[in-house]
Amino acid sequence: MRFDIITLFPELFAPLLTSGITRRAYESGLVDVHLWNPRDHAEGNYRRVDDRSFGGGPGMVMLAEPLFKTLSAIRADRQEARPAPVVLFSPIGHALNHDAVASWSQSAGAVLLCGRYEGVDQRFVDQYVELQISLGDFILSGGEIAAMALLDAVARLQPGVLNDEGSHQFDSFNPALDGMLDSPHYTRPEVWQEQAVPTELMSGHHAHIALWRREQSLRLTALHRPDLLEQAREAGGLSRQDEAFLKRASGRLPSADGVQSEKKL
């Protein structure tokens, strides 16, 4: 797959592409990343890419023409029969989640537009942007961090990128966990600051360990993300054994509105 990144700060991506275990995806070409700076396609001595907003107000707006020329160069370079979608990271976009990342990980890629300043000229958005994505209800200085988040999440799902092929299958939000949170993890030493590793994990009994992890996943999800627990329940992901554990742990089932029992899970 190929991702073309339109950004005024391509240097920000260097650490992402050359560090950590996910660099394997970029170095091998499993996730092919191309960086494009609109300044290279802007006119005039100053290579201007922004201007003041009509109607007044603070901040600057990214110009449509340099973005159009950049996109045209990308289209010519990709030479696709079916043009890749143009994605803008913005507050009005759909929140990025595991299902969306999984879908992107099996796609042919996209053109990712990283906005800056007060945003992008709406005419370019209306004409060329097909999808908008948000990381959450907060504002970043630009779309680069959001683009990196998408790239990293997609890269780690590629075959051969992680040391353990199945490690991502039991991450939080994964279907293997019915979309719930992962269980806690422990490593050496067995006792640290007078706190011991749970005995279930030290038993060597795979069935007991699997049951403990499932119950801890249920417990954490009920405490911190009851909405995910309710989604798993509605999808038929909770067994009678799961429901029985939740009753024992909390005294009653977590409600759909997220109200928690006074008893600790």
List active site positions. 91, 118, 156, 171
For the chain, first and last CA: distance in Å? 43
Alpha-carbon distance values, 37 to 41, 93, 145, 216, 252 (Å): 8, 23, 16, 47, 56
Q: What is the spatial distance between Cα 147 and Cα 251, in angstroms, rounded to a whole number?
A: 43
Closest Cα partner for 117 from 182, 51, 191?
51
Place of tokens 């630009």: 142
Strands (E), 80-148: 86-95, 109-113, 131-134
User: Which class for 190: exposed (0-12), middle (13-18), buried (19 or more C-beta within 10 A)?
Assistant: exposed
Tokens of residue 84, six digits? 């890749």
Evaluated on CA atoms 22, 119, 80, 75, the torsion sign reads negative
Q: What are the Cα distances from residue 248, in Å, to 222, 252, 261?
A: 13, 8, 12
- Cα gap 39→9, rounded to integer Å: 10
